Amino acid sequence: MTDAAEELEPPPRPTTNAWEGALDAAIDNARAYVAGLPGRPVSAQATVDELRRALALPLTDEGVDPAKVVHDLAAGAEPGLVATGSPRYFGFVIGGALPAALAADWLTAAWDQNAGLYVGGPSAAVVEEVAGRWVLDLLGLPPSASFGFVTGGQMANFTALAAARHAVLARQGWDVEARGLSGAPPVRVITSDLRHATVDRALRYLGLGTDATVVIPAGPDARLPVGGLADALADRSAGPIPTIVCAQAGEVNGGSVDPLAEVCEIAHAAGAWVHVDGAFGLWAAASPTLRSTLAGVEQADSWATDFHKWLNVPYDSGFVACADPEAHRGAIGVRAAYLVRADDDHGTARDQLDWTPEFSRRARGFAVYAALRSLGRRGVADLVDGCCARARQFADRLGQMDRADVLNDVVLDQVLVRFRAAPGSGSADAAADDDVTRRVVEAVQASGECWMSGTTWRGRAAMRISVVNWQTTEADVDRSVAAVERALASV
């Protein structure tokens, strides 16, 4: 063998001990972390400079022992972790991780299947097939709907709107996948001013552009007004217009749900496609007590939701479903000579890349399957009901506080609250209340007791509280309300 060939020798494989060292380091640190979640400060405890000092190590020529790498990574990252899995984390809409889901997620990494094709991991394909059907059933969606396991709500909205674009243009005789959008009939998207930002982003990705939207101001109840929608749909002055209506179940600030039955009825009568963005709110359909809030949801044409929010599956995990599998597959599926397709022989197995925009991807269905099996139907309903009860507890307690006003009708898990300047402080206008509200949010975040984020609601500053963690108890809410009280007294 020449010297050059010797230099190309592959590095030695990790020995059993090397696997064990690294995996032991991971499991020890992970166990300590999840066990400590209820007690640790919720906010990150290190500055960006401290984190850079701890983590910006030199990249050595020779590499470092795997167990030491994992240990050092855990030690360096630990102070900069936000305890988003804490039962007192109420920021954005961020769930924790159920034990079965977290454990299955570890296995997912160990198995490292490429979940694009059936042949790349038959178990991954079958688990997604099973879990996807469970989800359709739990959420009351048509059992014949197609579905895909995507990274989150953003890609679920993108995939669903790609299917919608395909279908509404096909009805005009236009094959958008082949011909693109140049010269295509313009597509109109009707939605409310409270749609999530990822809807607009999906429209950008799809080349429809945000100017394609006809935006209807939401009513005082923060829902898409049916009358306004009917008026917008009635505008057919330029002939039949390919139209997509984007409704939502669970507005990201206050959790409102659009009147889905009416929206579907009048949109379908006008030949439009109805998409429902239900990133978290769709889970209310899994609760017998809340299901009526989403009445009519099954009549829509496509749905987007997340597992990493209310189902408490680790990131990144979302779900898209489509009532018209041909539109879904027509917009998203892919073929190539070298792809060994499960359905080439008219087989029944499922190639996941027909339903998700990714090609190679993580087998994220394992964790969803584990989460659903561990909870069961009643467990999912209890999770949703429990979070909504905690949200109402927040609203009741905060609503009783001097200088605090709850701004929304708490229909699901979201609470919006605004604080007022102290009487006699000399500043008693809306701008002063905005300032107080923002300072309360900052003080609560800095306290480490709990974490809520801020927002602007109808032009005014507000605190958002989102309860989607499986571990949050009434005592956690009491403790968090006390932290808010202290913060308000301090500003």
Ligand X SMILES: Cc1ncc(COP(=O)(O)O)c(C=O)c1O
Which residue number places its CB atom closest to ligand X?
A: 153
* Closest separation in Å from C-beta 155 to ligand X: 7
Nearer to ligand X by C-beta: 21 or 318?
318
Tell me: does residue 461 bind ligand X (CB under 6 A).
no
154 binds ligand X (CB under 6 A): yes
Instruction: State how far the Cα of 349 lies from the Cα of 117, in Å rounded to an integer.
Output: 10
Q: Where are the alpha helices (DSSP H) in 118-189?
A: 122-138, 153-170, 176-179
Position 153 contacts ligand X (CB under 6 A): yes
Told to check if 95 binds ligand X by CB under 6 A, we report no
Total of residues contacting ligand X (CB under 6 A): 14
Kindly tell me which of 252 and 286 has the beta carbon lying closer to ligand X.
Answer: 252
301 binds ligand X per the rule CB under 6 A? no
Query: How many CB atoms are located within 10 Å of the residue 233 CB?
Result: 20
- What is the DSSP code (8-state) at residue 189? E
For residue 211, report the phi and psi dihedrals to the nearest 5 degrees: -70, -10
Six-digit token string for 235: 């505008």
Instruction: CB nearer to ligand X: give 270 or 285.
Output: 285
Q: Does 279 participate in binding ligand X (rule CB under 6 A)?
A: yes
Please select the residue that binds ligand X; options are 25, 42, 93, 444, rule is CB under 6 A.
93
Question: Of 34-42, 147-155, 212-220, 385-393, which part binds ligand X (CB under 6 A)?
Answer: 147-155
Q: For ligand X, which residue of 166, 196, 329, 397 counts as binding (CB under 6 A)?
A: 196
Say whether residue 254 binds ligand X (CB under 6 A): no
370 touching ligand X, by CB under 6 A: no
DSSP string, 388-426: HHHHHHHHHHHHTSTTEEE-S--SSSEEEEEE-PPTTSS
Task: Considering the complex, state which of residue 43 and residue 159 has its C-beta at the smaller distance from ligand X.
Answer: 159
Preceding omega of 112 cis (within 30 degrees of 0): no
DSSP β-bridge partners for residue 274: 245
DSSP conformation letters of 286-345: GSTTTGGGGTTGGGSSEEEEESSSTT-PPSS-EEEEES-HHHHHHHH----TT---TTTT
Q: Report the residue number, 316 or 405, with the smaller CB distance to ligand X.
A: 316
Return the residue of 277, 301, 354, 434 that touches ligand X, per CB under 6 A.
277
Judged by the rule CB under 6 A, the positions of this chain that interact with ligand X are 93, 152-154, 196, 198, 248, 250, 252, 277, 279-280, 306, 318
